[in-house]
A = this chain, B = another copy of it.
Amino acid sequence: MSFFHLVAGKPLATSEERAEHIGPISGIPVFGLDALSSAAYGPEAALTLLIPLGMAGIAHIVPISFAIIALLAIVFFSYRQTIEAYPNGGGSYTVASENLGETAGLLAAAALMIDYILNAAVGISAGVEALVSAFPSLLPHTLAFCLGILAILTLINMRGTKDTGIAFLIPTYMFIGTLLFVLGLGAFRVIASHGHPIPVIAPPRLPIATSMLSLWLLAKVFSSGCAAMTGVEAVSNGVAAFREPTQRNAKKTLTIIIVLLMVLLGGIALLCRAYSIGATDPTSAGYQSVLSQLLAAVIGRGWFYYIGSASILLVLALSANTSYADFPRLTRAIAMHDYLPHVFKIRGRRLLYSHGIVALVGFTAALLIAFGGITDRLIPLFAIGAFLAFTLSQAGMVIHWKNQTGPGRHYRMIVNGIGAVATGITLLVVLVAKFASGAWIVAILIPLLMFLMIGIKRHYKGVETATATDCPIRVDNLASPLVIVPLDRWSRITEKGLRFAMKLSDHVEAVHVDAEECRNEVDAMWNRNVAAPLAQAGREVPKLVFVPSPYRFVLMPLVDHIFQIEREHPDRQIAVLVPELVVKHWWQAPLHNQRAQLLKLLLLLRGNQRIMVINIPWYL
């Protein structure tokens, strides 16, 4: 197992779990990564839709970016209040189900699940786009790089969150630092050149305009740009992770994150206009990301460019990591309410809800493959889930304040109300503007997921009703069960099984399926090794039964015989002993126990309430 340990980390003992309480400095990488990295693909997504307008299109990025920044400000004030109201963390699922009822909670749950999966897919694909912008020859391998990064992230995460925390700090601050530096330098050049800076490396020439500006196009551009807002709810989810004073630290962190995001979005928009940087077609060979063009224009393709690109790639890939941390927590919370399989509640060997991670990785890989690892195709699916969750969360907060007493609740209701209305309207705009280009997938998936969750809950409820009882234990008929021991040749395993059967019950029956016609030998073995010594010790000798098998089958006659015994003893329980060999190395496993497994399966499938299986392990 040592190779597995090396890769997946040693299993953690329970006592190693403790909350690491953090302040704003490490809070920004942990909770802000997702939000800040959106600055890398949000403006790009908006600019891509402006390509058909040619040169004239770029000017529109500035008002649209500032509209998004204004929306961001509204959301900021809303979430500050959520932090105050839910010191243990107020995710959209919690807030919506507590204040708006179960259906709203499920709606938020479905939206969030989809959103986390999309976040992982978009983070990775946008990171790979930063990579292929720096090294254009890698473009044909986009999907392979996406899946590779997904695999690496999964490995890191399967080792546990403790190890991942440190990996965040440096790239996040490098990303913020390089971008702020480039934006600052660019702004200085723009001012120094009176608004007409000369790019160090000119961005690709913009295509000739092929269409005109329309309100519809602007709505679509705004909708795509809203992808930049995803991830801002992370802090309010994780309030409990901050150190005392918890809520003040959380709010401080949220403020820094949002202000930084606003500066990045505004700066990128202004510089794009000043340097005439537009998006390029991500499927064509000349593709270069907007940030890559911006870096090259301001500072050239020197070492700084490559450091900047590397930090963008890293931060985007790591922003996918938010999903690894939050998706399993979300599925666990939903499973706690019986809306998802209970397996999502089980923590794995590294204190992780590993089934959640497996589900996340599976869906993300499927998304990446289906959309070829191209961010631009994923964006239309993206913002819906986030804005649906925003809206439900803010609307839930309105009800929350309504049910509170005390001063200032009306003011707070209004703040959250403005947030709910603003994000709600945005949600509608995004849904309509992006419906045809992919949002319909999400619009179908969300109700499907909700139906699935309701079905799961109904199943669990049904099982609970079927097995619930208030009756005390019945005290009649506590006779020991009939124990059946399949017998082949005499071995230490057979001896152990037979002894254990005799410990359990006075009614032991050894069964030999006579597939090889060696009845006499088995008889002799039985007399020598079992019957004689037991009789000598004055103990009851178990019955030995031969089951004929004209066709040399072993399992079927055995199972038939067990069911015959079961029919002959309608008042007793039957226990079937199944020895199982435990091998030293995993690769020896295929050599053993398949017959035992098949016997267990057959008994389970054809079985009834009265037949039990007892596993006798034998360690080599």
A: residues with CB less than 8 A from B are 14-15, 17, 341-343, 346-347, 355, 456, 459-460, 463-464, 466-475, 478-481, 490-493, 495-496, 498-500, 502-505, 528-530, 532-534, 536-537, 539, 551, 553, 555-557, 573, 575, 580-582, 588, 590-592, 594-595, 598, 600, 604, 607-609, 611-620
Whether the Cβ atoms of A617 and B604 lie closer than 8 Å is: yes
9 A-B pairs with the lowest CB-CB distances in the bound complex, closest first:
A475-B537, A343-B594, A472-B529, A472-B533, A613-B615, A467-B491, A467-B492, A469-B492, A614-B614
Report B-chain residues with C-beta under 8 Å of the C-beta of A498: 473
Q: A503-B478, A594-B343, A607-B617 are in contact. Are A534 and B14 (CB under 8 A)?
A: no
CB distance from A139 to the nearest CB of B (A): 24
Report B-chain residues with C-beta under 8 Å of the C-beta of A14: 551, 553, 556-557
Report B-chain residues with C-beta under 8 Å of the C-beta of A604: 580, 582, 617
Whether the Cβ atoms of B478 and A614 lie closer than 8 Å is: no
Whether the Cβ atoms of A504 and B502 lie closer than 8 Å is: no
Whether the Cβ atoms of A346 and B530 lie closer than 8 Å is: no
Whether the Cβ atoms of A619 and B607 lie closer than 8 Å is: yes
Report B-chain residues with C-beta under 8 Å of the C-beta of A475: 533-534, 536-537, 539
Report B-chain residues with C-beta under 8 Å of the C-beta of A17: 551
Report B-chain residues with C-beta under 8 Å of the C-beta of A613: 614-615, 617
Whether the Cβ atoms of B588 and A530 lie closer than 8 Å is: no
Instruction: Give me 26 A-to-B residue pairs in the complex whose CB atoms sit less than 8 angstroms apart, sorted by A's number.
Output: A14-B557, A341-B591, A342-B592, A343-B594, A346-B594, A463-B581, A464-B491, A466-B492, A467-B493, A467-B618, A472-B529, A473-B533, A474-B499, A479-B503, A480-B504, A496-B609, A500-B573, A500-B612, A503-B505, A504-B504, A575-B614, A607-B617, A607-B619, A609-B618, A609-B619, A612-B614
Report B-chain residues with C-beta under 8 Å of the C-beta of A460: 591
Whether the Cβ atoms of B595 and A582 lie closer than 8 Å is: no
Report B-chain residues with C-beta under 8 Å of the C-beta of A608: 619
Whether the Cβ atoms of B618 and A612 lie closer than 8 Å is: no
CB distance from A154 to the nearest CB of B (A): 20
Whether the Cβ atoms of B615 and A615 lie closer than 8 Å is: yes
Cβ-defined partner of A598 (8 Å) among B346, B503, B581, B590: B346
CB distance from A516 to the nearest CB of B (A): 11
CB distance from A618 to the nearest CB of B (A): 7
Report B-chain residues with C-beta under 8 Å of the C-beta of A533: 472-473, 475
Whether the Cβ atoms of B503 and A480 lie closer than 8 Å is: yes
Q: Nearest B residue to A340 by beta-carbon distance?
A: B591
Report B-chain residues with C-beta under 8 Å of the C-beta of A609: 496, 617-619
Q: A503-B480, A582-B604 are in contact. Are A495 and B474 (CB under 8 A)?
A: yes
In the complex, A347 Cα to B554 Cα: how many Å? Answer: 9
Report B-chain residues with C-beta under 8 Å of the C-beta of A592: 342, 463
In the complex, A536 Cα to B347 Cα: how many Å? Answer: 41
CB distance from A480 to the nearest CB of B (A): 5
Q: Nearest B residue to A550 by beta-carbon distance?
A: B14
CB distance from A297 to the nearest CB of B (A): 44
Whether the Cβ atoms of B472 and A347 lie closer than 8 Å is: no
Whether the Cβ atoms of A573 and B503 lie closer than 8 Å is: yes
Q: Nearest B residue to A15 by beta-carbon distance?
A: B551
Q: A346-B594, A539-B478 are in contact. Are A469 and B490 (CB under 8 A)?
A: yes
Report B-chain residues with C-beta under 8 Å of the C-beta of A469: 490-492, 495
In the complex, A575 Cα to B614 Cα: how many Å? Answer: 9
Cβ-defined partner of A504 (8 Å) among B343, B355, B492, B505: B505
In the complex, A477 Cα to B423 Cα: how many Å? Answer: 73
Whether the Cβ atoms of B618 and A342 lie closer than 8 Å is: no
Report B-chain residues with C-beta under 8 Å of the C-beta of A478: 499, 502-503, 539
In the complex, A383 Cα to B227 Cα: how many Å? Answer: 61
In the complex, A480 Cα to B474 Cα: how many Å? Answer: 22
8 new A-B contacts at CB < 8 Å, known A472-B530, A472-B532, A496-B609: A341-B591, A342-B595, A463-B620, A473-B530, A474-B495, A479-B503, A607-B617, A612-B617
Whether the Cβ atoms of A466 and B341 lie closer than 8 Å is: no
Whether the Cβ atoms of B591 and A459 lie closer than 8 Å is: yes
Cβ-defined partner of A343 (8 Å) among B463, B499, B590, B619: B590
